[in-house]
Amino acid sequence: MAELLSIISLINNYMEKFNWSRAIGYGALIWVVLFVFVWILISFSLFESVISKIIIVLVAGALSYFFTPDIKMLKPSRALSYGVSWVVVGVVLDLLISMRFMADLFSRWEYWLGYAFILFAPAIRVMIGETKNAGVSHAL
Protein backbone atom coordinates (compact mmCIF):
# COMPACT_ATOMS: atom_id res chain seq x y z
CA MET A 1 0.00 0.00 0.00
CA ALA A 2 2.87 2.38 0.83
CA GLU A 3 4.41 1.75 -2.59
CA LEU A 4 1.13 2.64 -4.29
CA LEU A 5 0.88 5.87 -2.30
CA SER A 6 4.44 6.82 -3.21
CA ILE A 7 3.71 6.17 -6.91
CA ILE A 8 0.55 8.28 -6.70
CA SER A 9 2.50 11.04 -4.94
CA LEU A 10 5.19 10.93 -7.64
CA ILE A 11 2.60 11.19 -10.42
CA ASN A 12 0.83 14.01 -8.58
CA ASN A 13 4.06 15.99 -8.20
CA TYR A 14 4.86 15.48 -11.88
CA MET A 15 1.41 16.59 -13.01
CA GLU A 16 1.38 19.67 -10.75
CA LYS A 17 4.50 20.97 -12.53
CA PHE A 18 2.99 20.33 -15.96
CA ASN A 19 1.59 23.53 -17.47
CA TRP A 20 -1.77 22.36 -18.82
CA SER A 21 -2.78 25.73 -20.27
CA ARG A 22 0.39 25.89 -22.37
CA ALA A 23 0.07 22.26 -23.36
CA ILE A 24 -3.51 22.62 -24.55
CA GLY A 25 -3.05 26.15 -25.89
CA TYR A 26 0.03 25.37 -27.98
CA GLY A 27 -1.55 22.12 -29.15
CA ALA A 28 -4.59 24.05 -30.38
CA LEU A 29 -2.40 26.74 -31.96
CA ILE A 30 -0.32 24.14 -33.83
CA TRP A 31 -3.53 22.53 -35.06
CA VAL A 32 -5.04 25.86 -36.23
CA VAL A 33 -1.89 26.85 -38.12
CA LEU A 34 -1.72 23.45 -39.84
CA PHE A 35 -5.45 23.48 -40.60
CA VAL A 36 -5.20 26.91 -42.24
CA PHE A 37 -2.02 25.93 -44.10
CA VAL A 38 -3.63 22.77 -45.51
CA TRP A 39 -6.80 24.70 -46.36
CA ILE A 40 -4.71 27.21 -48.35
CA LEU A 41 -2.94 24.38 -50.19
CA ILE A 42 -6.29 22.74 -51.02
CA SER A 43 -7.72 26.09 -52.17
CA PHE A 44 -4.89 26.50 -54.68
CA SER A 45 -5.04 22.81 -55.75
CA LEU A 46 -1.55 22.20 -54.39
CA PHE A 47 -2.40 19.73 -51.66
CA GLU A 48 -2.07 16.45 -53.54
CA SER A 49 1.57 16.85 -54.58
CA VAL A 50 4.18 14.91 -52.63
CA ILE A 51 6.25 18.08 -52.19
CA SER A 52 3.38 19.88 -50.44
CA LYS A 53 2.79 16.89 -48.17
CA ILE A 54 6.45 16.86 -47.19
CA ILE A 55 6.24 20.61 -46.52
CA ILE A 56 3.19 20.05 -44.29
CA VAL A 57 5.11 17.46 -42.26
CA LEU A 58 8.11 19.79 -41.93
CA VAL A 59 5.87 22.71 -40.90
CA ALA A 60 4.25 20.50 -38.24
CA GLY A 61 7.64 19.56 -36.81
CA ALA A 62 8.94 23.13 -37.02
CA LEU A 63 5.94 24.52 -35.15
CA SER A 64 6.40 22.01 -32.37
CA TYR A 65 10.15 22.60 -32.30
CA PHE A 66 9.88 26.37 -32.11
CA PHE A 67 7.10 26.44 -29.50
CA THR A 68 9.29 24.41 -27.16
CA PRO A 69 11.63 27.20 -25.96
CA ASP A 70 8.79 29.09 -24.27
CA ILE A 71 8.19 26.11 -22.04
CA LYS A 72 10.78 25.89 -19.29
CA MET A 73 11.59 22.19 -19.32
CA LEU A 74 14.46 20.47 -17.62
CA LYS A 75 14.27 17.00 -19.10
CA PRO A 76 13.41 15.45 -22.48
CA SER A 77 10.71 13.40 -20.71
CA ARG A 78 8.94 16.65 -19.76
CA ALA A 79 9.26 17.83 -23.38
CA LEU A 80 7.85 14.53 -24.59
CA SER A 81 4.86 15.09 -22.29
CA TYR A 82 4.15 18.34 -24.11
CA GLY A 83 4.55 16.58 -27.45
CA VAL A 84 2.04 13.93 -26.38
CA SER A 85 -0.42 16.59 -25.23
CA TRP A 86 -0.06 18.49 -28.54
CA VAL A 87 -0.74 15.29 -30.49
CA VAL A 88 -3.79 14.45 -28.36
CA VAL A 89 -5.22 17.96 -28.81
CA GLY A 90 -4.61 17.79 -32.56
CA VAL A 91 -6.15 14.35 -33.02
CA VAL A 92 -9.23 15.30 -30.98
CA LEU A 93 -9.70 18.47 -33.06
CA ASP A 94 -9.22 16.43 -36.23
CA LEU A 95 -11.89 13.99 -35.07
CA LEU A 96 -14.29 16.84 -34.32
CA ILE A 97 -13.56 19.15 -37.27
CA SER A 98 -11.15 17.92 -39.95
CA MET A 99 -12.89 14.59 -40.55
CA ARG A 100 -15.86 16.53 -41.94
CA PHE A 101 -13.71 17.85 -44.78
CA MET A 102 -11.39 14.90 -45.39
CA ALA A 103 -12.90 11.52 -44.59
CA ASP A 104 -9.68 9.59 -45.28
CA LEU A 105 -7.55 11.82 -43.04
CA PHE A 106 -6.48 9.05 -40.66
CA SER A 107 -5.29 6.83 -43.51
CA ARG A 108 -2.81 9.37 -44.91
CA TRP A 109 0.92 8.85 -44.32
CA GLU A 110 1.65 12.56 -44.03
CA TYR A 111 -0.91 12.88 -41.24
CA TRP A 112 0.83 10.36 -38.98
CA LEU A 113 4.34 11.46 -39.94
CA GLY A 114 3.42 15.06 -39.10
CA TYR A 115 2.14 14.03 -35.69
CA ALA A 116 5.31 11.98 -35.12
CA PHE A 117 7.32 15.15 -35.76
CA ILE A 118 5.06 17.09 -33.38
CA LEU A 119 5.49 14.38 -30.75
CA PHE A 120 9.29 14.20 -30.81
CA ALA A 121 10.34 17.74 -31.79
CA PRO A 122 10.14 19.19 -28.23
CA ALA A 123 12.31 16.39 -26.81
CA ILE A 124 14.82 16.83 -29.63
CA ARG A 125 14.93 20.57 -28.95
CA VAL A 126 15.62 19.97 -25.27
CA MET A 127 18.30 17.35 -26.00
CA ILE A 128 20.02 19.69 -28.47
CA GLY A 129 19.89 22.46 -25.88
CA GLU A 130 21.36 20.16 -23.22
CA THR A 131 24.16 19.16 -25.59
CA LYS A 132 25.00 22.80 -26.33
CA ASN A 133 24.90 23.70 -22.63
CA ALA A 134 27.10 20.74 -21.73
CA GLY A 135 29.67 21.82 -24.31
CA VAL A 136 29.74 25.36 -22.95
CA SER A 137 30.21 24.24 -19.37
CA HIS A 138 33.13 21.96 -20.32
CA ALA A 139 34.77 24.74 -22.28
CA LEU A 140 34.83 26.99 -19.20
- The DSSP output letter for 18 is S
Question: How many beta carbons lie within 10 A of that of residue 22, not counting itself?
Answer: 15
Report the mean per-residue pLDDT for the chain: 84
CA angle centred on 100, ends 25 and 60, rounded to 5°: 40
The 10s digit of each residue's pLDDT in 41-53 is 999 999 989 999 9
Question: Do the Cβ atoms of 70 and 123 come closer than 8 Å?
Answer: no
pLDDT at 140 over 60: no
* Interatomic CA distance for residues 81 and 112, integer angstroms: 18
Q: What average pLDDT does this structure show over 62-75?
A: 76
Q: From the centroid of its chain, how far is CA 118?
A: 3
CA angle, residues 85, 91, 97, in degrees to nearest 5: 130
Residues in the chain, overall count: 140
